[in-house]
Structure 1
C-alpha cells in the first residue's frame, strides 16, 4: 500500500522532502512512501491502493484553489472509508473548519471557512509571531508537552521545528478531538488556554492527525540543505533532542493505525560501490573500460559527470579507501559519487566485500545453464553488483552517456535500493530480501524488435515467471517442484502470488480468482517497468524489476509462500524445496531472456502468447473499463493482447465493440475487476 505525500501547488519542496524522509524512515518497507501530484490526486483512483495521505507545509490558499470541490470530496471520502490523513502546518490549517491567520494584519491575513473540516473548530495562527513567507526568519525550535495518557511511550517533552503554524483553538471542548501535544510556551493567540499543537480525531472509519508544528522535520536534513544561518541554528538546537522527536512521531503514526518500524534510529543505508565483472568473458569488461575512456570525456581519465549521476571508475587492484567519502547523517542518493570497481580479469571481489551476493556463485550458475542449453550468451555476461544503490534503473536510464557505452544484456543488480523507481514515477526504499535488477536491451533501428518495442515487457515478465516456476531444474519446461508455486502475471508485467493462507493444496497454483469475499487472495510479489530512449542509432530499453525473494514486509515473499508449499510437500512425503537465492534466480532469468530473445528477434511476440495466457490472471475475465466525462464505463470480457503492440483486447458485452487498451496508459485493479486510465 502507498503513503502519499501531496506535492502540488501550495507545498514547498522543503516540506515535501522532510515528509518523505521522515515517513520513509518510520514506514518503509511496510508502505511505499511516494509523492502525488495535483492532477493525480484529482483524476486518478489513488484511494484504492493508499493507506495514508499527507498534506505538507506551505501555504493554505493554493491548497484551496487546487483542491476545493473535487479534491476535498475525494480526500473526505478516502478518510471516511478508512483512510489515514496527516496535515502538517499549512496542511493542518487547510484541514480545519475555519482558518484565522494573522487577523488584522492587512498584508498577511487569511481567514475563512474550509471544506475538509477534519478539525471541527478554528485553526488560529500564528501561534508565535514573526512568520515571513519563504523564509526561516520567524522560525524557532518549539517545545511540545506530550499527552502521556494517550501516547505513553513518547517522551513527555519534545522539541520540533515551528514556522507559522496554528493552534487548534478550543480543542478541549470537542469530545471527539484528542490533543496529543500542546505548545509548552504561551502562544500569541488571544484567549488560547488549550495551546493545542497536535490533535487526533476519528472521521468515519478513518483517522486524522493534524499538527501546527513540524514534528516531521529532520534536523539532519535541515543542516544538510541550509545555507541560512538562522535555519542552521535551529537545526543545531533540535539535533540533541531528535531521538525524542522520532519517538513522538512514531507514536503518532501508531495512533493513526499505521504499521511502523520498531527502531526509530533506523537510518537509510549509504550508497556502496558497484563491483563490475564479466568473469566468464573478461574481454567484455576490458572493452567497456576502453569505450568509456575513448568515447567519452572523462575527468582525470576515470570520472564521468552524466545527466543524473557522477561515476568514478577504479581498477580492481586499487584499495577501497576512496569509497568512504561522506559520513554525514544525510546523503543525497543522486548527488553522491557512484564508484565502480572494474574486474577486467578472471578475478572477482572478495566475498566479504559482497556478503549478500556471491558473484562467483552467480557466474557458476549462469555457466551451468548455458552449458546445458546453448544460447547467444549476451544477457548477464557482464554484471555490476552493489549492496546499496540509489536505483538500478536511474543509474542506467537517467545517464545517457554511460548508458550509450554499455553492451546489450548488461545487468545492474543490488541488495537494497534507497530510491527505487516504479511505474508512474513512484520512489521508495526496498529492503534486503528484494532482488532489484535492471537489464539493458540495445536494439538497432533495423531490428524487427524496433517496430514493437512495447512488447519487450511481456517477454521479460515471461522470463521472470518461468525462472520462478522452473527454479529447481536446468531442464527447459521442468520445475523440480517449484512449478507448484502459485505465481501469476497481472497485465501487463507485474507478478502476483497467492497468499500463504490461501495455499492449501498443490492444485491451488491454478487459482485465478483474486478475492475471497472482501479479502484479497493474491498480493504483489514483483513490479517492473521498461524505459526506452534513442541514442546513436539504437533504442536502449532498460527493464527494471524488483522481486520480493525473502522479505516478508509489507506482505509476503517467494520464500514465505515456498515455506507453506513445503508444508504441503511434507504431508505428501516429499522432500522440502530449498529457498530461492538471488544468485541462482537472477542467472535463470538472464538465461531465459537469452533463450526467449533469440526467438523474439526473428518471430516477435506471437510464439509466446500461449504461454503468456497460461500464466496470466485474465483469460475471459469480466472487467469494467472505466470511462470519463466524454465516455461512459463499459463492461467487457478480456480476450487477449495484440502481438504487434501489446494492446489489451476487451470486448464490450453490451455493444460487441472491441476495445484496445495501451499498457502504459491504463492500470488494472485485479481485485475490483477494473481497468482505469492513469
Structure 2
C-alpha cells in the first residue's frame, strides 16, 4: 500500500510500530521512504514507536558491542536529526518479556501540562534520542530516569519521547511503549518479574492514558477526552416478515447441523446458542462476553411472534423497519416471499461482522435462505477490502445479505457486477428517500464506493478541473463469494455513514449544511435527517428489484443509470503503471465491468480491473495494485 497506492491525501496519521527496524530498512528503502518523507514534510503527521523511533532517527544504535544483537547504521527518514540509542535497559531478548521494565518517565510539564509528572510505561528494548536538547526542531516531551543502562552522557536529557518539526509536518517519536494497555498484555508470561511490571502498569494506567492523549494532541489530532472501551456483544434477534422463515431456518439448522451441547451449535468459525423464546434474553444481558469477540458464543433469539423490548434494541426500531420494508415492496409492485432480500433478517446492537457471521461459517451459509439479511449498530470486526478490519461505530449502518446465483447464468450475468448493483441501489435509496433528497450531492466512485460532498462545499461552485478534495467516502460495497453444488453464494456487505460525524462526515451532516444553505438563500425547503430503518428498507427493496432483473438481462440495462451516478465520465487520468500516460475514461466494459480509459496519445483503450487498480480520483491517478 505504501509503495503503490495513493494513500497520502486520505491519511490522517502514519504510524510505524515496534518490532525490529532491519526488515523495514530492506522493504522501505527508496520509493517508500521517499513517499513517507514527502508526506510528512508537506504537512503529514507521523508516529514512530520503539523500533519505529529507531527507524525514524538519523541513525540506529542498538546494543552496540553485543555481537549477537548489535544493529548499527544510518537511517533514511531522519525525522529526529540525531541517533536513537538503546537498549535503555539491558537484558532485552526478542520475543520474550525478559528485558521488560515498567520505567517511570518524567514528563516535560512545559510541553504537556496538567498531567502527572511521573508516568510508568512499558519498556522492552527501547531507545533514547541522543542530544535531543541540541536540535531546534525537536521538543522533548518526556525523559528516562538517570539510572538507565544507556545514558545521554552529553547534556543528560535522556529523551524518551520527542516531537520533531519536519517541514510543514510533525513526527512524534517514542523510545518506550505508551500505547500498550496492560489489560491486553499476557499475564501468563514465563518471566516471573513480568507480574510485577503488569501490577505497576495497571495501578498507574490512567496516568499513561493521560500522557498518550496529551502527546497525540501535540500532533494536532482530535482525541477523545474520555476513555472508551470495546462494548460487549449483545443478543442477535432472528425475525422474518412472513412470520415463519426464521423458525424454518432454526429447524433446518437443527436437522442438518444439530447441537454440540445443550443449545449450542458449531456452525464453522462461530458457535451459536439457539434460543427459541425471548425468556432467556434477560438472563444473558449481564453475562460478559469472552474478551475476544471472535471466540464468544453468539446468542440468537428467535422472535417471530414477538418483538424485543425497546431497551434491548435502543438504536434500531425493528417494527419500524418491518413496516417500511413491507410498504416499499408493495409500492414497487414486488411480491415479497421467503427468498426476498430482507424477508428473513437478524439484528444485533453489538455484533462481530454482518458479513463474517455468514461467509465465515461454512456450515451455516448453505442452509440460510436466499436474501437472508444481517444488520446491526456496532460491528467489532468490520471487514473491508485488502483484509482491512475496523470497529464500525454507531451511526455507520452496516448490512449484509445472501444472494444465490446458479453458475449456469453467470455467463450472461457475471457476478463481478453485483458490487456495481450494490453501490447503485444504495445511492438510489439515498436520492429517493423522499421529496427533495435527490439534491443530495452523492456520487459513485468506481467501482463501488459512495462519496458525498463535504458540508463546507455545499452551495459552492467548484471548477470541474479543480484538484481540491471536495468529496469524501461515506459508504462502500464488499462481495464475498463461495460456491456450493454449482451455485454461487454471494454475501454482499454494505456500510453507509448515516450520522457519525467523525473522522470524515455523514449524510446527516451534509443535510444540516444543505438546510443552512436553503435558509441563507431564502429557499422554503428543509430536509429531515435520514432514519436508518427507512433507509435500509429502501436499499434492500431497490436492490431486490435490480437483482431480479440482473439475473435475466445482465448488467447492460443498468449501464446508463450507473454512468449518471458516477464521477468519472470523460475524466482525464494518469496511468502510473503505463509510464504516466494520460488517458480519458470512457466507461466500463459491458462483459466484465473493467474500467475503460483511452490513451490520449496512442488511442489505445486500456481495460482496468476493479480489484487490480487503485483510483485516486482527485489527483486523477490510477495505479496498479501488486
TM-score (norm 2): 0.94
* Pairing 1:166–2:90 present: no
CA distance in 1, matches of 2:487, 2:48: 47
Are 1:564 and 2:513 matched, yes or no? yes
**Residue 512 of structure 1, CA deviation:** 9.2
Question: What is the aligned counterpart of 1:598 among 516, 523, 548?
Answer: 548
Supply the distance in 2 between the matched residues of 1:613 and 1:70 (Cα, whole angstroms).
36
The residue aligned with 2:526 is: 576
Q: CA deviation at 1:227?
A: 6.8
Match of residue 23 from structure 1: none
CA distance in 1, matches of 2:504, 2:10: 13
Give the equivalent residue in structure 1 for 2:365: 403
Is residue 201–residue 209 contact of structure 1 (8 Å, CA) maintained in 2?
A: yes
Whether contact under 8 Å (2:423, 2:476) holds in the other structure is no
1:443-458 matches, within 5 Å, as: 443-448=405-410, 451-458=413-420
Alignment of 1:343-382 (within 5 A): 343=303, 345-377=304-336, 378-382=340-344
Matching of residue 535 in structure 1 with residue 498 in structure 2: no
Match of 2:348 in 1: 386
* Correspondence for 2:184: 221
| 1:274-293 equivalence runs, <5 A | 274-278=236-240, 280-293=241-254
Point out the more displaced range, 183-192 or 524-533.
Answer: 183-192
Q: Which of residues 280, 290, 301 is equivalent to 1:341?
A: 301
Q: Which moved more, 1:565-574 or 1:658-667?
A: 565-574
Q: Deviations over 1:267-325 (max 9, x none)?
A: 222221211100x2122111211121111253126323344333222222332223544
Cα deviations by residue, 1:23-76 (Å, 9 ceiling, x for unpaired): xxxxxxxxxxxxxxxxx3333333332222212111222222322333322322
User: Cα deviation per residue 1:431-460 (whole Å; 9 max; x = unaligned)?
Assistant: 211111112112222334785000111111
Query: Structure 1 residues 233, 191: closer, same or farther in 2, change over 3 A?
Result: closer
Unaligned runs of 5+ in 1: 1-39, 473-479
Name the residue aligned to 1:642: 589
Give secondary structure in 1 for the equivalent of 2:265: strand
Superposed displacement of residue 354, structure 1: 0.4
- Say if 2:594 is the partner of 1:659: no
Q: Which aligned pairs between 1:217-296 and structure 2 lie closer than 5 A?
A: 217-223=180-186, 229-263=192-226, 265-278=227-240, 280-296=241-257
Separation in 2, partners of 1:376, 1:502? 42
Task: Describe the SS at the equivalent of 1:42.
Answer: coil
Provide the aligned C-alpha RMSD in A: 2.1
Secondary structure, aligned partner of 1:608? helix
Distance 2:425 2:299 in 1: 30
1:188-207 CA distances to partner (integer Å, 9 max, x unpaired)?
12553211111110112211
Partner of 1:494: 449
Q: Structure 1, residues 202-236: CA drift from partner, whole Å, max 9, x if none? A: 11221111111110111011147857654443222
Shift of 1:357: 0.5
Q: CA deviation at 1:654?
A: 0.9
Q: Give a deviation string over 1:444-494, Cα, whole Å, max 9, x none.
A: 22334785000111111111111111111xxxxxxx111111111111111
Q: 1:144 aligns with which of 105, 108, 118?
A: 105
| Paired position in structure 2 for 1:54 | 15
Deviations 1:73-131 (A, max 9, x none): 23222222222221111111122222222222222222222222222212121111121
1:143–1:185 Cα contact (<8 Å) kept: no
Q: Deviations over 1:491-517 (max 9, x none)?
A: 111111122222228xx7xx894x75x
Aligned to 2:557: 607
Rate the CA distance shift 1:191–1:487 in 2: closer, same or farther, 3 A.
closer
Q: Report the alpha carbon displacement of residue 403 of structure 1 after superposing the two structures with TM.
A: 1.7
Q: Report the number of matched residues.
A: 618
- Cα distance in 2 for partners of 1:340, 1:185 equals 57
Q: Deviations over 1:626-649 (max 9, x none)?
A: 21xxx4232111111122211111
State the SS of the aligned residue for 1:583: helix
Residues 467 and 459 (structure 1), Cα distance of their counterparts in 2 relative to 1, 3 Å cut: same
- C-alpha distance in structure 1 between counterparts of 2:463 and 2:560, whole Å: 16
C-alpha distance in structure 2 between counterparts of 1:503 and 1:62, whole Å: 46
The verdict on how the C-alpha distance between 1:447 and 1:303 changes in structure 2, with shifts beyond 3 A counting, is farther
Contact 1:496 1:523 in 2 (8 A): yes
SS in 1 for 2:53: helix
Report the equivalent of 1:34. none
Distance in 2 (CA, whole Å) between partners of 1:445 and 1:133 is: 51
1:415 aligns with 2:377: yes
Is 1:626 the counterpart of 2:576? The answer is yes
2:30 maps to which residue?
69
Return the alpha-carbon distance in structure 1 between the equivalents of residues 68 and 407 of structure 2: 60
2:403 — aligned with what? Answer: 441
Shift of 1:531: 1.4
| 2-structure distance, mates of 1:325, 1:386 | 16
CA distance 1:208–1:390, shift in 2 (3 Å): same
Q: Contact 1:392–1:417 (CA<8 Å) still a contact in 2? A: yes
Quote the residue 2:619 is aligned against.
672
What is the CA-CA distance between 1:666 and the residue it aligns to?
A: 1.3
